[in-house]
Structure 1
Amino acid sequence: METQNNNLQQNKFGHWLKTSITARMLMVGFLVIILLVPLSYINSLINERAFRQKDVVNEINKKWGNDVLVYGPILKLPYKTYSETKTFNEKTKTYFKETQTHIKYAYIFPEHLNATVDVNSKTLKRGNFESAVFTTTMDFTGNYIPVDLTAKGIKQEDIVWNEASIIIKTSNLKGIKSEVQIKLEDKAYSFETNFNQNTNSRLDVLESALIKNEDLFKTKNTPFSFSMTFNGSRQIELIPIGKTTTMHMNSNWADPSFMGNYLPNDETKSITKDGFKADWKILHINRAFSQQHLKSIPKLSQFAFGTKFMVMVDEYQKSERSAKYGFLVIGLTFLVFFLIQTLSKIHIHPFQYLMIGLALTMFYTLLVSLSEHSNFLKAYVISGASVIVLITLYSKSILKTFKFPIFIGLSLTGLYAFIYVIIQLENYALLVGSIGLFLILAIVMFVSRKIDWHNG
């Protein structure tokens, strides 16, 4: 008797599930929530692959050469300071004074700094990932004006003119591919590495041999010139320490991203598929530091400007943005099947809903895996077409007609096309998405107006 009651209750529940609109809505909503679990795993997969790409790119760059930042040339000029000590003599019962001499350094920036930068860029691949690397030759010219430190409280006779040197700081000591020599008037001075004990600084120090010429920097303009050749990656930056700083950059890279506090001149900037040319000019009035510094070289990396050379690989970002619409795709697809089931009285089993939902989640794993071997558009089309064909054919076996499966296929095609447009947009993504969702809501309201919601 008890068994019969249980069977009767199960039959009533099954009948209620088949005939009740409320029951079907609850079932569809529950399945959508269940499918959020595999969607979360897919988002984790996308993030994992994106981190893997960053690790591989960093490894490639580390072996080839890191980003390039040049801070120099800086004139290092020693000067004397004095201190007095008093000593009491017990025998004479008097004090006598002793003067001690100390050597300190002033750091002088050039009056003009002109840089001509030629960059030969290429991509290096490792597996499915690639990184932008380059070889650059940077030619520098400029001049120092006669140094006068009296405003800093330093007398001219206290400056040790014949022990001056030149300092260049760079972020890519490993990537230097040629000897560095600076030419002052007609004489060249070589550089050696000066070990940087400041572990918090990303810049290494090159210092020239002592410039044993008292006439330089003291009474006349001193022109200079030097060249540096780097193997580098990611970006090239220059700190504008000249009272007037100019830089001309020429490269075969077609996708530059200009960075830093100063942008190139629009009048002379040129970007084509074969590369780009850009010119910068920064005046001392454009930056908040002086030309003379005592005690130490100031940290001025925040004033750097230049160009970023990045491979325009944003497949993972696009895949991640696409996966964020997974809930919308599953929800709207289930809504289409729900409306078809309600209007046509065709029964669709919860298991069949689940299979359709899993097929929709497979789109994102296909998209991520294919985009690693092809461009994003091709991967998106292949993944979308595969899922649409699979669900359309499966719908044919469920709905026993051609009309509804074709409608479902067209709906999915329009939905995936709509999402692709959204993820390609930046400034208008919210506007287009809002309009699209409004139109979808209007269509659903129009189609569902004939459903008798009170009957179930």
Structure 2
Amino acid sequence: MEIHQTETNNKKLLTWFKSSITAKFVITGALTLLLMIPLSLIQDLIKERETRQQDVVSELNDKWGNEILLYGPILKVPYKTYQESVIFNEVTQQTEKKQSTQLKYAYFFPKTLDINADVKTTLKKRNNYETTVFAADIATSGSFEIPDFSSKSIAAEDIVWEKATLEIKTTNLKGLKSEVKLNLNGNTYNFETKANGNSQLDALESSFIALEDLPNTTTRSFDFKLAYNGSKSIRFIPIGKLTNVQMTSDWKHPKHTGSFITQSKRTTENGGFEANWKLLHTNRSFSQQYFRVLPNLNQYAFGTDFIIPLDEYQQSERAAKYGFLVIGLTFLVFFLIQTLSKISIHPFQYLMIGIALIMFYTLLISISEHSSFFKAYLIAGTAVIVMITLYSKSILKNLKFPVLIGTTLTALYSFIFVIIQMENYALLVGSIGLFIILGIVMYVSRKIDWGFDSAQPVVG
């Protein structure tokens, strides 16, 4: 009798489980969470491929030329300092004073500094990976005023003018494609590489400046040109009392960065940009001259990053972040159709649909490595939508619901594509879209009875 009662209760429990909306919803939710495991593996795959891309890009950039940080010229003038020491003379048994002379260096920045940078960009590819590199022609001109040694009480006779030089600080010496020559007061001075010591920047130093070219009695003008192969960015440090920088390029996606904003910028006819910076010495918190040690001024750099705003891996990663939303909403559509139409859908069929949705991301990554992201997204999305629509036709036994599912998936994938293309308005558009989707789901599900129906088991 007890065995028969147990079997009866089990049958009632199974009947309730098959017909209960709540039970079906729980199973659908559990399958959605289960599919997060392969989705997380897909996200790991995207990161792995992106890391590989970054390694290849770094190798390409290193061979072509890395980022550029440039400032100079700097007038470097040695001066004498004296130090007295007391020594004991063992012969006379008396102490004696001895004076030693040491050379220290004073550094003076230009009075005016005008920089004109013309940058031409090129896409470099290796296998499935690409990076942006550029060739930059940088023309610099300006003037030096008479150095002021009075603030340190340095006597005129202690200034070693005949050993004064000029220095240019820069990165990416490998990318330099021209000899470094500077015209000062009508005469040309060559530069040689100098050991950078602990500095992050390399130094180029000129030969000794002729006395007649020095700004020791009057202002002297200078100009020089540099040609670089570089990548990633170009930045400058505003060491002039008045610094003017103009940069033009054919790159369509500039990102102006650093401690100072552009004075003006505009888009050129070829889709590139023209940007201008104008800075006074009062706009920054460092001096026009330094004695003994030249500080690290990298924090004051400004310029432009030449970046690809969203490459295929970044876009694929952003698309995968919406994977939970796609799977959850697709299952929700099937669940609502199943509930409202009383058509039975087996958990295995939900699983097949979920795996098809996961396959979208593997198709997207693999195709985008050989084509544009848009084409990859279109091909992968179309393939998955057609597959799920045809599969749902065999499940739902009519044409109306499969068309609804195909239309819903098309709208959902289109919505996600729009979001991942945006940068500034992605959160706003995504929030509005999700709010509308929530409203539609609430409206469609408003008449569903979530309580236990008549088939619920009675144990006793």
**If the length of structure 2 is used for normalisation, what is the TM-score?**
0.92
Instruction: Give 1:217 deviation, angstroms.
Output: 2.3
Please say if 1:354 is aligned against 2:355.
no
**Aligned mates of 1:430, 1:411 — CA distance in 2:** 21
**Aligned mates of 1:275, 1:426 — CA distance in 2:** 19
1:224 corresponds to which of 222, 225, 231: 222
Q: Does the 8 Å CA contact 1:161/1:214 hold for their aligned counterparts?
A: no
Q: Does the 8 Å CA contact 2:213/2:220 hold for their aligned counterparts?
A: no
Unaligned runs of 5+ in 1: none
Please say if 1:419 is aligned against 2:442.
no
Where do residues 189-338 of structure 1 align in structure 2 (5 Å cutoff)?
189-198=189-198, 201-213=199-211, 216-266=214-264, 269-338=266-335
Instruction: Give 1:276 deviation, angstroms.
Output: 2.2
Q: Deviations over 1:12-32 (max 9, x none)?
A: 555333212222112111111
Q: Does the 8 Å CA contact 1:195/1:205 hold for their aligned counterparts?
A: yes
Where do residues 169-184 of structure 1 align in structure 2 (5 Å cutoff)?
169-184=169-184
**If the length of structure 1 is used for normalisation, what is the TM-score?**
0.93
**Aligned mates of 1:275, 1:425 — CA distance in 2:** 20
Paired AA for residue 31 in structure 1: L
Instruction: Give 1:306 deviation, angstroms.
Output: 1.4
Corresponding residue SS for 2:446: helix
Which residue of the partner structure matches residue 149 of structure 1? Answer: 149
Corresponding residue SS for 1:269: strand
Q: Does the 8 Å CA contact 1:108/1:291 hold for their aligned counterparts?
A: yes
**Aligned mates of 2:448, 2:181 — CA distance in 1:** 85
**Aligned mates of 1:171, 1:2 — CA distance in 2:** 87
Compared CA separation, residues 449 and 223, structure 1 to 2 (3 A): closer
Instruction: Give 1:404 deviation, angstroms.
Output: 1.0
Compared CA separation, residues 288 and 353, structure 1 to 2 (3 A): same
**Aligned mates of 1:235, 1:207 — CA distance in 2:** 24
**Aligned mates of 2:30, 2:352 — CA distance in 1:** 14
Paired AA for residue 281 in structure 1: K
Compared CA separation, residues 241 and 219, structure 1 to 2 (3 A): same
Which residue of the partner structure matches residue 373 of structure 1? Answer: 370
Instruction: Give 1:116 deviation, angstroms.
Output: 1.7
Which residue of the partner structure matches residue 431 of structure 1? Answer: 428
Which residue of the partner structure matches residue 104 of structure 1? Answer: 104
**Aligned mates of 2:266, 2:330 — CA distance in 1:** 48
**Aligned mates of 1:309, 1:441 — CA distance in 2:** 40
Which residue of the partner structure matches residue 399 of structure 2? Answer: 402
Where do residues 377-392 of structure 1 align in structure 2 (5 Å cutoff)?
377-392=374-389
Compared CA separation, residues 148 and 364, structure 1 to 2 (3 A): same
**Aligned mates of 1:255, 1:213 — CA distance in 2:** 47
**Aligned mates of 1:221, 1:137 — CA distance in 2:** 27
**Aligned mates of 2:51, 2:91 — CA distance in 1:** 78
Paired AA for residue 112 in structure 1: T
Q: Does the 8 Å CA contact 2:64/2:175 hold for their aligned counterparts?
A: yes
Paired AA for residue 246 in structure 2: H
**Aligned mates of 1:270, 1:431 — CA distance in 2:** 26
Higher relative CO (Cα under 8 Å, sequence separation at least 6) belongs to: 2
Instruction: Give 1:393 deviation, angstroms.
Output: 0.4
**Aligned mates of 2:107, 2:164 — CA distance in 1:** 10
Question: Number of residues paired by the alignment?
Answer: 453
Q: Deviations over 1:61-102 (max 9, x none)?
A: 001011111121111110000011233456656543221111
**Aligned mates of 1:287, 1:348 — CA distance in 2:** 69
Corresponding residue SS for 1:104: strand
Q: Does the 8 Å CA contact 1:148/1:156 hold for their aligned counterparts?
A: no
Corresponding residue SS for 2:445: helix
Instruction: Give 1:263 deviation, angstroms.
Output: 2.6
Which stretch of structure 1 is more off in the superposition, 240-249 or 349-358?
240-249
Q: Percent identity between the aligned chains?
A: 56
Instruction: Give 1:167 deviation, angstroms.
Output: 0.9
Which residue of the partner structure matches residue 65 of structure 1? Answer: 65
Q: Does the 8 Å CA contact 1:18/1:347 hold for their aligned counterparts?
A: no
Compared CA separation, residues 438 and 250, structure 1 to 2 (3 A): closer
Instruction: Give 1:186 deviation, angstroms.
Output: 2.5
Compared CA separation, residues 187 and 320, structure 1 to 2 (3 A): same
Which stretch of structure 1 is more off in the superposition, 83-92 or 27-36?
83-92
**Aligned mates of 2:40, 2:211 — CA distance in 1:** 70
Paired AA for residue 203 in structure 1: L
**Aligned mates of 1:274, 1:445 — CA distance in 2:** 46
Please say if 1:364 is aligned against 2:356.
no
- Structure 1 moving runs of 4+ over 6 Å: 1-10
Which residue of the partner structure matches residue 450 of structure 2? Answer: 453
Which residue of the partner structure matches residue 53 of structure 2? Answer: 53
Q: Does the 8 Å CA contact 1:72/1:168 hold for their aligned counterparts?
A: yes
Instruction: Give 1:180 deviation, angstroms.
Output: 0.8
Instruction: Give 1:269 deviation, angstroms.
Output: 3.5
Which residue of the partner structure matches residue 162 of structure 2? Answer: 162
Q: Does the 8 Å CA contact 1:239/1:303 hold for their aligned counterparts?
A: yes
Instruction: Give 1:323 deviation, angstroms.
Output: 1.2
Paired AA for residue 382 in structure 2: A
Paired AA for residue 376 in structure 2: A
Instruction: Give 1:222 deviation, angstroms.
Output: 1.6
**Aligned mates of 1:192, 1:253 — CA distance in 2:** 32
**Aligned mates of 1:185, 1:120 — CA distance in 2:** 31
Q: Does the 8 Å CA contact 2:185/2:213 hold for their aligned counterparts?
A: no
Compared CA separation, residues 276 and 297, structure 1 to 2 (3 A): same
